[in-house]
Structure formats: structure tokens, C-alpha cells
Amino acid sequence: MSDTTKLYDGDTGTLTGPQRRALAELIRGPYVSSLTKPEIFRTVSDSRAVLAQQLDNLFLTLVVDDAAGVAYTRMWDADVEDRRALLRTMSLSFMDTVVLLHLRRELMNTSPNERAVVDEDEVFEATRPYQGAAGTDHTAQQKKFTASWNKFKNNSIVVKTPTEGRFEISPVLRIIFSAEEIAAVTASYDTLLAEAEEQ
């Protein structure tokens, strides 16, 4: 073991300090961004082979998108007998999914080199047609939306900007869902909206 990887007497690790911090961030999740943590993202990008090897030991796959400036881990696609789930999962309610679809649509309407920034109130207004279950109760609609919005803030899907009420959409949404998955879910929700309008 070289001195560059030995952080204390008795240390048996094989990664450098920056590589260990990057690995810990990847496992902690939900993702590493070049915007919020540029040094860690640079380490992930430069050390992707060795970090991917370490993550394979945990049944995890490393995904790095240099163009989007995002890196994250996901469970193996391979279905092996001894595979174990280590990652946190986030279940999505109906409103969570509506908000997520809107955020991804807004993100995809911007250039990959541009920041996608949205206004919280405008996102709320965009979700209102899907809130038929809450009727015309504005307070109930706002409560459901706020719960979803806070979930995405806590998981860094939307990140505060210096401007009050304005949030940047994480570029991870460009790659975490395929275009086919988004199209299928959007079609289902558009059908629900059309049925609600007919009633």
C-alpha cells in the first residue's frame, strides 16, 4: 500500500482520501453534481474505473455523464442470486410524479449547457389540472403540492437559487429516466386528465 492511500497507521484501504470521499458521496446519494460539488465530481470522473470496481463489490453500477455534470449509482441490472439492495428508494405519490414529469419537461426544453430554473409558484399552477381529487379546495391542492416539492428539495432534485422562489432543476433528471419511460407515464397521465375533464 502506498503512502498516498494510507490515511492513518493500520489503514488497509486502497483508495486516496479524495477517492474515498467521492465513493462515500456516491453511496450516500442521491447524486454528485459538478455544480454543487465540483471537486468531488472531478474525482469521480477521473477515477471512474477504480470507483466502479469498488461499487461493483456492493452490487452497484456507477453512472457518469460528463456532459450533464452528474454522477450517481444504481442497482445492478443483472439479476444475480446474491444481489442485495443497499440504495435508498423514494416512492412517488401521484402528485410527486406529476411534479417530476413537469420538471423533466422543463429541463428537456433547455440546452444541456444551460441551467434550467423554475419558479415554485409556476410549477404549482402547472400541476393544478391534475389535482381533480382535491376539487376546488386551493388549500388542499397547495398542501399536496408543497409535500411533493419539499420531497424534491430534500433530495436535491430542485436546488435553491439566490432568487426567492426560484429553483434550479438537477440535470440528473436528463438521464435517470429514459425517454420511453417518460413518454409512457406522460401518456397515462394525459389520459387521466382527459377523463377528468369529461366528467
Q: Where are the domains of the chain?
A: 1-87, 94-198
Kindly report, residue by residue over 2-59, the tens digit of the pLDDT: 446 788 888 888 899 999 999 999 888 778 888 888 999 999 999 999 999 999 888 8
Kindly report, residue by residue over 112-142, the tens digit of the pLDDT: 778 889 999 999 998 888 776 545 677 888 8
DSSP β-bridge partners for residue 65: 70
pTM for this prediction: 0.59
What is d(CA 181, CA 183) in angstroms, rounded to the nearest whole number? 5
Residue whose C-alpha is closest to residue 108's, from 163, 158, 67, 169: 169
Kindly report, residue by residue over 47-74, the tens digit of the pLDDT: 999 999 999 888 888 989 888 888 888 8
| CATH class belonging to 1-87 | mainly alpha
Q: Do the domains spanning 1-87 and 94-198 agree at the CATH topology level? A: yes
CATH code for the domain defined by 94-198: 1.10.10
